[in-house]
Every structure is written in structure tokens, then in C-alpha cells.
Structure 1
Amino acid sequence: MDSVNRGRHSSSAFAAEDDEWYPKQESTPRPAGPHRAVRKRDYLLRFSKAFMGFLGAVLLWYTAVLTRPGQILDAFTMEAAGVWDGQLWGVDEVVLFLVSTKMIVIVAILVVIITFWRQRWELGLRALAVMLLTIGVVQLLKRYVFWRPAFGVTYALPNSYPSGHTAAAAAVSVAAVMVVARRWRSFTAFLGAIWVSTVGTATVINAWHRPSDVLGAVMIAGAFGLLFTPLEASRGRTWGDLRMQHFLGVVGWAFFILGLVSSVLVAMMIWNQFGFSGSEVLVAQIFRQAHAGGAVVHLAHLAGLSLILGLVSLVLRSVDKLVQ
């Protein structure tokens, strides 16, 4: 028995030595340091941008639709762009014809095919959700939530804010940026910026929508894109892809700031002419001045186009940047 007890004590001693020399490998918790902080910061930035998109759409509606100066500037910019109607060899009409229910269905099918090929079903569902929510919410806001008071600035027309055509084009572009391979995201965002800007500008030239309608639709599409696009870390971004992303940022901010400055200058120039006019002559005055040419008309062209191109580029770039 003593030998057995000695054996047991010795074995326990060796076990103690083993435990001392080879400690148990306990599962260490994930570090709560830089990695966690960066992820929380990324999510906070993402949702903050989405909130700013929705808030910006509401503030733009209040400024451009619910105030008399906003309606004057918006209407004048649209009438000034109408000078190009019929001078673009029908390109603008073809672009507007392409934005239809058939196009949305075709893009939805392409999204399903791409996500099936990449085996990213969840990403495909997110992209489809962005398309459906953007188009549905824009129609809901335009028909049942937002309204347009009659200040005598234009003829009595129902509310057109935000633009349904631009919303469809922007939603399709955001969905495309979401589902393509990572090395093609920035190039897809670049093509999407050209496409959405062309559609938005065509609606203004053909007097389907005012510039504010286009900008509001782009902000709503971008907000849904930021909400549903997943945050991903990737090594698949190529040098050329990242350079394109940087280019979109530079172009976007440059045109957006140029558009803001031009809009302020146009507002200052036309306020002296239209600010105190009676509602019965204001519509005719705006139309006559917008089609008379001159520096203020060219500046209005620059303001509208720059704001649309700048905002679209920044919105699509923000969705693209969610994959680092």
C-alpha cells in the first residue's frame, strides 16, 4: 500500500510538474483593442452616412420645395437646362426610355446570376432589397408623404420630389457595385456615376424633374446602399481599382463644391429679378430669362450638372469603400 501511495504521490508530483512546465492552453478572448475599435468605428461611420442620406433628402425637400426662394432657384435651373432639349440628337430620350420596369427586372436577374456564380446568396438578397426599398420608398414619399405648396413660382403641378427615374437608375447602380467582384467595384461605381448622372440630367432637360428631385433620389438610394452593403476586409482590391476609387472621390468633391458655389451665385443673381415679383407674372419671367441666355443661364447649367455628377460620384464611392 505504501508503495502504491508513493506511486500515486510521485505521479501527482510529476503531473504538477507537467502542469507547471506545460500550462493548459485556455481560449483567449478576442482582443478588445485596435481591431474591435476599428470595426465599431466603421459601423458607426457607415450608419452615420446612411442617416445623413435620409436626413439630407428631407432637408433638401424642405429647402427646395417648401420655400419660395428654393422653388425659384429649382425652377430656373430646370428651365435653363431646357435649352438643351432637342439638341442632343435624341440621346436623352433614349436614356429615359431605357429606365423602365423591364430594365429593373433584367438587372435583378443579372444580380441573381452574379451572386450565384460567386456563391454569395446573402449579398444578392441585400442587393435586391436595396433596389426594391429604394424604388418603393421613393414612390411612397412622392405620392403620400411629401407635398408641394403653390407659391405661384410654377404652374400648379403635383409633387415630383424625389425622382422615380433617377431612383431606379441609382438603385440599379448601387446593386451592381455591391455584387461585382471586388477588383471591379470602383470601375463599376465609375460607370454607374456616368449612367445615373446621365439619367438625372436627362430628366431635368426634358422638364420631367427639377434638380432637387434628382438629388433627393440619389441620397435615398445611397442611404439604403450604405445600410445593406456588408463591411468586408479584402486583399482583392487591385492598385488600379483603388486609384479609380480615389479618382471618384476627387471628382465627386470637386464637382459637388463647384455646384454649391454656382448655385449660390445663381441665387444671388436671380433674386434681384424674381424675389419681389408677383405670382401672376413669375412663371413667365423665369421662362423668359432662362431662355434668353447670358451668364446666369450658363452658370445655372454648371450648377445643376455639377451637383448631380458630384453627389452621384460621392454616393457610389461611399458604397464602394465599404469593402476595404
Structure 2
Amino acid sequence: MSFPPAPARPVSARSVIRPLVTVVFLWTCVGIATYISLMTMTGQSLDDEALAQAKADRNNFFPWIFLAAAQHVPELVSIAAAVLALVWTIRTRRWIPAVVGLGMILGANFTTQFLKRVLLDKPDFGIQLIVHNSFPSGHTTATATILVTLLLVAPPHLRAKTATWGWVLAAITGMLTVLNGWHRPSDAAAALLIVGGWGVLAVLAIRLADAALARPGARPTDVYRRVRDKMGAHRENLQQREERGDSAYIPPTGSQQRQHGQPSQSHPYQSGIGQPGPRGPGNPRFSTHGPAAASYADAPYSNAPNPQAQQQYPPAGYQQNPYAQYGRPGYGYRAAVRPRKGTVIALLVLAIGLAVAVALMPSLAVAGTWAGRANVIAGYLGIAAAAALSWRSVARWLRSLS
């Protein structure tokens, strides 16, 4: 069963401003995480204690083979996602999302490295386990950007599953950077939020590119064909001028007929030539009585003056899109948004609640204590919440694309 291609959704000011508001919200969360985890003593202590507890749990609860495999999980996930994205791009020929995804990868990784190495400086309060600044995480950013690119090039009917697996794998990658001792929890959470903002910008860029290419003659092949035809017509005109001489003049075809009041061949029903112009009693073809009026009323979907040019609408063979129930008519399949809003809210509430409870405890959350384990669990939940929020934001705006 084949369906007519879905037209590009028109781009309005609202459809541009709303994704930008989502980007501002995600990156505002990055700024809040930056201030709490870097500029306050409480945030630094909670972050470093979570890292110390993760290292202690790594040696006590996980076998060596798991720890050896955890060192290579980010690379393996990145390679698998990149290969699958390449396969989907070739099969579905979604070249624009692939190119935009590459730009998103470069932009997100540049943003992470610029923040870490140039813009941000972690003040020393005397409680740091790692002296240099590791905020945000480069390992998490690299893997998460490839997973978002996979979501961009995924076929519409696989976007929900791709979004679900994407945010889960991104969250696991961020947790493993903490378990391996590479980063603190806030480093991974901020990296995921940065990637989420760039992902929303990528969706906006895809929408604008689709709208631009949907205009008549805007595709590169159409532009090339138009330029080629114009150049061919110019060469033919020059050849004709050389054959007849520069001073020769040939009047346009049909101009003498129009001067004598006769209808031209290309416009047999032109106003003022062979037929009365306006519709009404003066024009027998458009009169309100007689067989002409009856034949004209039989084609209510066309206003062409020539009855032979009228066509029935909808055209023969057209079938209603069965996926139109998921969105507005004509915009193709709209996958469900994953992860759900309830998942994002639950993870955020648990992470913030545990972190606040640990911060208000009178004793320190040192490694091995109940407070220390609650602290590292809060860090893991925060990473999962950042991944769920970022992937939901990207999937929400990607849903409107066919």
C-alpha cells in the first residue's frame, strides 16, 4: 500500500519560538547545575562524596570482569549507534537529518570542551578529590550526541523505541563515567542537558530545511534543471540572432491576430477577444441557465474556465493515510513521545529529594555510610532524570516531522 508524500509542515513564528524556549530551559538547568556543583561548598561536597562512594562500591560489589567491560561501554555504544545511524540513513535516504546530526555532534562537543577548558573554573574550597575541573563530561557528551543523531535519522515508526533505548543507554553511559571514577554525577547530568539543547536545535534546523526544500523549484535538482534550460534557451536565441542578423525583427507569434481582435491559439478563451470576459448573463459559457450552467455545476472542485480541464477531487487511486489519526491530516505518522512525562517527573523528584535529605543531615555522607549510598543514588537518579528530560524534549519536537 502506497501513500502520497506528506507535505512539509508550514513554519510559523510559534513553531520556531517554542523549540527555542525549550533550549533556553535546558541550558538554564545547566547553569543552575553549574552554580550548585561548582560555586557552592555544599554542592562540591555532595558531588565529591558521591564520587568517593561510587569508587568504594565499585571495589566491593562489582566483579572485575564487569569493571573491565564498563571501561569500554561508552565506545561500544557510540560505535553501534553510529553504524545503525549510517544504515538507516542509507536505507531511508534521510540525508538532511544526517547532515544536521553531524553538525549537532560538532556543536555539542565543542560546547562541552569550551565550558570545561576555557570558561569554567572550579574554586578550591579544600574538599576536592580531583583538583582540575571536569564539568561537564566529555565522554557522556560524545556518546549522547551519537544517540541523538540516531534518533534524528530513525524511521518514523521506530522513533518511540529509539528514544526509549537512547535515553536509557545515555543514562547508563553517564552512570558508568561515575562508577569508573572519571567524572562526578553533575558532570554527566550537565553533559546530557547540553546535548538535549543541541538536539532540539537540530530538529528545528531539519524543519526549516524541509520547509525551504518544499517550495517549488527549491530542490538542488530543480535549480540545476532551471539553470540548464535557461542556458540552453540563451544559446538557441543567440544562434537564431546570428542566422537572421542582429537588425532583423520577427514579431511574436499571434501578435497580429490579437491586434485584429481574433483569439490567439494559446488563449482561446481570453477576455475581450472571442468570448465575453466576466462571468454572468453576458457570457453564454458561464450563464446561470441552460446546459452550460449544468455542466459547470457538475465539477464543484475546480474553477477552471475550460470544462475539459476540470478534474475530480480527490484523484483516482488516492487512499486515506491510516496514520493520520496520530496527528493533523497530511503530516504522516507521528510516533508517541518517549520517555513519558511521568518518568521525567518521578526521576527528578527522587533525585532532588534524596540530595536535599543528604544535605540536611547533620553527619557527613562519607563512603560506606547510609548517607553516602543515598548520595550516590541521588547522583545516579539525577543523571537518569537529565537523560529523560533531554530525550523527551528532542522527541517531542521531532514528533511533528514526517
- Aligned equivalents of 1:44, 1:264: Cα separation in 2: 34
CA contact (8 A) 1:104 1:172 kept: yes
Could you tell me which amino acid in structure 2 is paired with residue 83 of structure 1?
A
- 98 and 299 in structure 1: CA distance in 2 versus 1, 3 angstrom threshold: closer
SS in 1 for 2:332: coil
SS in 1 for 2:176: helix
After superposition, give the CA deviation of every residue in 1:116-151 in whole Å (9 maximum; x if it has no partner). 321221111011111122122212221122111111
- 273 and 304 in structure 1: CA distance in 2 versus 1, 3 angstrom threshold: same
Larger gyration radius, structure 1 or structure 2? 2
Aligned residue number for residue 252 of structure 1:
344
Correspondence for 2:197 among 199, 218, 223 = 223
SS in 2 for 1:228: helix
Q: Which moved more, 1:201-210 or 1:86-95?
A: 86-95
Could you tell me which amino acid in structure 2 is paired with residue 257 of structure 1?
V
Aligned residue number for residue 156 of structure 2:
182
CA contact (8 A) 2:71 2:180 kept: no
Aligned residue number for residue 323 of structure 2:
none
After superposition, give the CA deviation of every residue in 1:161-212 in whole Å (9 maximum; x if it has no partner). 0001111121111111111011111211111121111111111122211111
- Normalised TM-score (structure 2): 0.61
Correspondence for 2:367 among 279, 290, 309 = 290
Correspondence for 1:267 among 356, 359, 365 = 359
Could you tell me which amino acid in structure 1 is paired with residue 189 of structure 2?
L
Could you tell me which amino acid in structure 2 is paired with residue 303 of structure 1?
A
- Aligned equivalents of 1:92, 1:41: Cα separation in 2: 48
After superposition, give the CA deviation of every residue in 1:242-299 in whole Å (9 maximum; x if it has no partner). 2xx3553221221111111111111111xx345xxxxxxxxxxx6xx222x22x2332
Correspondence for 1:150 among 124, 130, 138 = 124
Aligned residue number for residue 36 of structure 2:
63
Aligned residue number for residue 265 of structure 2:
none
CA contact (8 A) 1:225 1:319 kept: yes
CA contact (8 A) 1:78 1:210 kept: yes
After superposition, give the CA deviation of every residue in 1:45-99 in whole Å (9 maximum; x if it has no partner). 2111112222322331122112111101111222223332143334354243132
- Aligned equivalents of 1:39, 1:184: Cα separation in 2: 27
- Aligned equivalents of 2:101, 2:347: Cα separation in 1: 28
SS in 2 for 1:81: helix
Aligned residue number for residue 71 of structure 2:
96
Correspondence for 1:310 among 385, 391, 396 = 385
CA contact (8 A) 1:50 1:227 kept: yes
CA contact (8 A) 1:80 1:297 kept: yes
Aligned residue number for residue 40 of structure 1:
13
After superposition, give the CA deviation of every residue in 1:28-56 in whole Å (9 maximum; x if it has no partner). xxxxxxx98x9433322211111222232
- Aligned equivalents of 2:153, 2:32: Cα separation in 1: 31
Offset of residue 314 of structure 1: 1.8
SS in 2 for 1:176: helix
- Normalised TM-score (structure 1): 0.74
SS in 2 for 1:99: helix
- 252 and 92 in structure 1: CA distance in 2 versus 1, 3 angstrom threshold: farther
CA contact (8 A) 1:93 1:202 kept: no
SS in 2 for 1:153: coil
- Aligned equivalents of 1:174, 1:247: Cα separation in 2: 14
Is 1:205 the equivalent of 2:280?
Answer: no
CA contact (8 A) 1:186 1:317 kept: no
- Aligned equivalents of 2:15, 2:114: Cα separation in 1: 31
Is 1:235 the equivalent of 2:210?
Answer: no
- 247 and 63 in structure 1: CA distance in 2 versus 1, 3 angstrom threshold: closer
- Aligned equivalents of 1:317, 1:155: Cα separation in 2: 34
The structure carrying a bigger helix percent of its residues is 1
Q: Say how many residue pairs are matched.
A: 266
CA contact (8 A) 1:150 1:156 kept: no
- Aligned equivalents of 1:156, 1:206: Cα separation in 2: 14
Query: What is the Cα-based RMSD across aligned positions, in Å?
Result: 2.5
SS in 2 for 1:154: coil
Offset of residue 220 of structure 1: 0.6
